[in-house]
Structure 1
């Protein structure tokens, strides 16, 4: 199989209210599947929405801020946990249409939140990838992932992996993913700014793979609507109302293994589709294979610890 139709769903999430957002997610997946897409990508934390108040709401990072604490509690209450039964309808849809769906969300492990991009695949449990280093203000709400979730999905047509946002500027993380041999890579962003587009296209060139750089769109009223669905919180609302009206604009793109843009979304909601000729990945390796003939294992060595790090081990 050398032909593959892929899609990026550039849409507004339903912030905070993950339970309600799953219903909208299912509709987006159905629309993309009806258009013939076999791989469907969503942007960073599409379920639950990107925590924009950390960047956009004055005072949100202040110690003991009541609005920020309330939003953190709501995310913990709403977050995906383990084999979350709320996601069973998505798995059923993936199984029925033989899809691969990459979607980001807030995941709860014990008392902490992780920024996790899940790869749902037919007939198998979803693969999680937890963001290795939350960026800047994100460290106020998300814990760090470990090497256990550096992974790819083996499909009949090739391998698909994910990295999230600024992980694309972690050279060793990129090297690890290139060794895993991706054919298609999902670069999950909150919104695809110019530098994010450059990073995505660079990744495609370096990894000789197709890159789906997926962004979302979001307005201030989206965040306020999500808050109201969860009963509202006066101090959180007062903080959120100080944010600008336009927060995320999309900018999604699909790049080929030569870094050229195959498809580019405009601002606003859009289903971005492309038909990929997967044989191009092998052709481009004639000039560059960073994990093969363009590597120098006699000089450079990278060790990757892929053990889960739980911190506490109980032994009887």
Structure 2
């Protein structure tokens, strides 16, 4: 299947690249301007709110790996769709939100997704994000491309300071109010109290069956058996996550060590740690996870349980 394009306006385009970039099936993410009436506008012209353009990102993607539905879902999770005057600290027309569809199928998916969001009750105010036909897209200046990589420190300060980061966490993290009833004592200890299960005495450390590992709380896909290997440590180990978007990394200074903790993004639960002693031919990383933080879904059960979009992982 040929690559497709998706275009989203979500306020400052600095913050709209990272959520899509480096995800499976994503070929390119470009910052730019669209929706207005001026050819080849500059950043200053767009920010003056006289061109009709919105700051936006245009994504080139493989729909067999990353369906458009998932892109739209990710888009909603980056914005406040009830704000007609901009996004967070950025005010004005150029920071308004919109989905620009490139064909009728994208339009249908976007409209259905918006309706589902409206009916979910997640937002008390009306959803004002527009769904519009795609117009010419103009790439932004080079210093605005991949800003989260080029100016990572400033980007983090900006995302936090603008209010976007806290809004996303408060709005989209999984409900954890009843976890003690839903989880076993070990699952709760590992995920909510940053615990560690016993090596060689956990469910998946020596699993050799094909399938995926999902977060025990949110159900989000975390790892694949394709990337699992025996690290000799007694815990399930992987060379990489299926989708980097679904995990967060945090510095862990407990127990007199400096380590990188891995947490699930949606559930904000402890999964394990990542180390730099993994197979060099696979990138050199070892994601050492707790079995109790995950649920394994065999390949033969993935379609039945609603994970058919991830069967591409097991195609030859």
Q: Which has the larger radius of gyration?
A: 2
TM over 0.5: no
| TM-score scaled by length of structure 1 | 0.25
Q: Which has the higher contact order (CA 8 A, sep 6+)?
A: 1
Compute the TM-score of the two structures, normalised by the length of structure 2. Answer: 0.25
